[in-house]
């Protein structure tokens, strides 16, 4: 049976009801719910179909269901909830999201998969062979979503020092335009210290092709991950879960890592040529020097972007990738 669509009036009423619960939580000293069941703030850690595991302000986990009038809930959402007992509760409202990662599900419908993410770690490796066009697609998406990207070249233990030096030179232009670029190996924990420091007090998600070592990085950064998985399994009653849903883990030094098998690549759904150009930050900066406001930076005369590329102010590899990507968007 297909899901019944809500009318505009119903959507307005749902929004009004959730805002009331949010305000009650903010003013709970003077306006509280039932004495034995106050409204509390919580963070969604993961979900299993219609059940959600949330963490409260005391770091305790609860298994919750949600009121039917709440919009989609995903890992990373901040919510308002009420406790039934020592293990269970009900979610009654969702706080507004500061960011949302999504993908296109069945029939092209947008499907949120993680919320309130601060940064995305783009993981590449010698194998499978990485593509700079794919890296740039991630960067466009990150810029569009206003999420900080970090590029991580993993599995350097499989390369010679000469090859690593060559790769650092080859990819250095990403650093030149402001993106962190790290070379790491899970067999060398020292190389992961800088990455770990970038994750401090942030909510980060790892992304990349299958086989680049995302899970290995998470295991190194979270030495207590087996304990956290055990706690989640105990509260969900599902055993050692192998869910494909996004799951949020605590970092010991503060912050969170979201492990999401579903985030392998965003694609550029919903992004047009103008948005793609804005996602190339150095191209966007130089576009103000173009003669024409609607310049596509391809064939126009007196194009500031083309001139900057010819003068090596924009790296030729980035410009060629820009041309490929906007051409693909035209198809």
Last residue of a domain, one of 227, 259, 291: 259
Supply the pLDDT for residue 31.
39
Cα–Cα dist 328/321, whole Å: 11
pLDDT for 233 equals: 84
Whether 267 is in a domain gets the answer: no
Q: Which of 259, 285, 311 is the last residue of a domain?
A: 259
Answer with the one of 236, 259, 282 that is the final residue of a domain.
Answer: 259
- Whole-number Å distance between alpha carbons of 94 and 42: 10
Q: Which domain holds residue 289?
A: 273-329
Task: Write the CB contacts of 129 (distance below 8 Å, at least 6 apart in sequence).
Answer: none
CB 39 within 8 A of CB 28: yes
pLDDT number for residue 245: 75
Whether residues 219 and 143 share a domain: the answer is yes
Q: For 168-198, write each residue's pLDDT tens digit.
A: 999 999 999 999 999 999 999 899 999 999 9
Q: What is the CATH number of the domain that holds 85?
A: 2.40.50.140
Shared domain check, 249 and 106: yes
In a domain, 51, yes or no: yes
CA atoms within 13 A on the CB side of 9: 0
Task: Give yes or no: residues 188 and 150 share one domain.
Answer: yes
Report the pLDDT value the prediction gives residue 29, as an integer from 0 to 100.
43
pLDDT confidence of residue 72: 86
- CA–chain centroid gap for 109, Å, is 19
Q: CB burial class (10 A; 0-12, 13-18, 19+) of residue 209?
A: middle
pLDDT of residue 238: 63
pLDDT at 313: 96
Q: Residue 268 falls within a domain, yes or no?
A: no
Q: Which portions of the chain are predicted below pLDDT 50?
A: 1-3, 29-35, 241-243
Query: Are 106 and 194 within one domain?
Result: yes
């Amino acid at each position: 049976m297909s899901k019944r669509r809500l009318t505009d009036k119903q959507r307005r009423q749902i929004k009004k009801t959730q805002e009331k619960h949010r305000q009650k939580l903010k003013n709970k000293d003077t306006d509280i719910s039932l004495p034995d069941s106050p409204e509390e703030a919580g963070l969604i850690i993961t979900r299993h179909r219609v059940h959600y595991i949330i963490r409260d302000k005391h770091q305790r986990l609860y298994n919750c269901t949600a009121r039917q009038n709440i919009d989609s809930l995903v890992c990373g959402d901040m919510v308002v909830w009420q406790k039934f007992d020592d293990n269970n509760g009900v979610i009654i409202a969702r706080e507004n999201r500061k960011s949302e990662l999504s993908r296109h599900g069945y029939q092209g419908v947008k499907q949120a998969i993680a919320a309130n993410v601060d940064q995305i770690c783009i993981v590449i490796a010698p194998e499978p062979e990485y593509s700079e066009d794919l890296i740039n697609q991630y960067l466009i998406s990150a810029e569009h979503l206003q999420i900080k990207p970090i590029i991580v070249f993993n599995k350097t233990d499989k390369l010679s020092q000469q090859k690593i030096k060559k790769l650092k030179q080859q990819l250095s232009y990403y650093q030149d335009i402001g993106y962190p670029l790290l070379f790491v190996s899970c067999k060398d924990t020292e190389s992961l210290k800088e990455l770990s420091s970038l994750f401090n007090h942030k909510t980060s998600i790892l992304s990349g092709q299958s086989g680049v070592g995302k899970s290995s990085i998470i295991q190194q950064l979270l030495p207590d991950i087996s304990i956290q998985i055990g706690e989640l399994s105990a509260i969900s009653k599902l055993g050692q879960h192998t869910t494909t849903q996004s799951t949020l883990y605590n970092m010991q030094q503060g912050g969170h890592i979201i492990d999401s098998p579903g985030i392998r690549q965003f694609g550029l759904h919903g992004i047009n040529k103008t948005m793609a150009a804005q996602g190339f930050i150095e191209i966007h900066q130089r576009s103000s020097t173009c003669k024409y406001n609607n310049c596509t930076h391809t064939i126009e005369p007196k194009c500031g972007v083309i001139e900057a590329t010819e003068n090596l102010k924009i790296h030729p590899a980035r410009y060629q990738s820009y041309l490929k990507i906007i051409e693909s968007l035209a198809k």
